[in-house]
Structures are given as structure tokens and as C-alpha cells.
Amino acid sequence: MTKQWLPLAAVLALAAATVVSGLAVVRAKHQARQLFAELEEINREHDRLLVDWSRLTLELGWLATHANIETRAREHNLVEPSGRELMIVMEPPR
């Protein structure tokens, strides 16, 4: 009697393995899609930050120009210090 159930048990085991395998594939594909969406979001954020960094680098370059510094100094009525007010700091010898 056991030999009669053996083929049926094998078919049921293979069917169960196929279902489990299919569910694993579906789960893996879903996870891959989620990770891809997350990667795309991170890439968009990277691009946005790169644009901000480039803009800030240009702004820093403009702010550091001699003409801009001189204009701001005049706007705030800054004057060059006199000889007595000037202090030169030198790096100590090594």
C-alpha cells in the first residue's frame, strides 16, 4: 500500500516545492524593485546635492574676489588700519 502513495507523495512534494520557489521569486523581484526605486531616489538626491555644491562653489568664488571684498568694505565704512593698529603674526620656526 505504501508503494501506491509514493508517486502521489512525490508529485505533491514537487508541487509544494514549485509553489515555494515561485513565491521566493516573486518576493525577490519585489525586493529588487524596491531597492531600485530607493537607488533612483538616492541618485536624484546626489544630483541635487551636486548642483547645490556647484552653486555654492561658484558663490564662494565670487564672494572671495577682491572687487567684492572691497565693495563690501566700503559699504560698511571699513578703513585700512594705521601702522600702530597693524599686527603681523608669523608662523614660528620648526
Q: Return per-residue pLDDT of the chain as tens, 94 residues.
A: 567 888 888 999 999 999 999 999 999 999 999 999 999 999 999 999 999 999 999 999 999 999 998 999 999 998 888 888 888 899 999 8
Cut 0.75: pTM above it: no
Q: 62 near 68, Cβ under 8 Å? A: yes
For residue 65, the 8-state DSSP code is: S
- The C-alpha atoms of residue 91 and residue 94 are separated, in whole angstroms, by 9
- Is 81 in contact with 87 (CB distance < 8 Å)? no
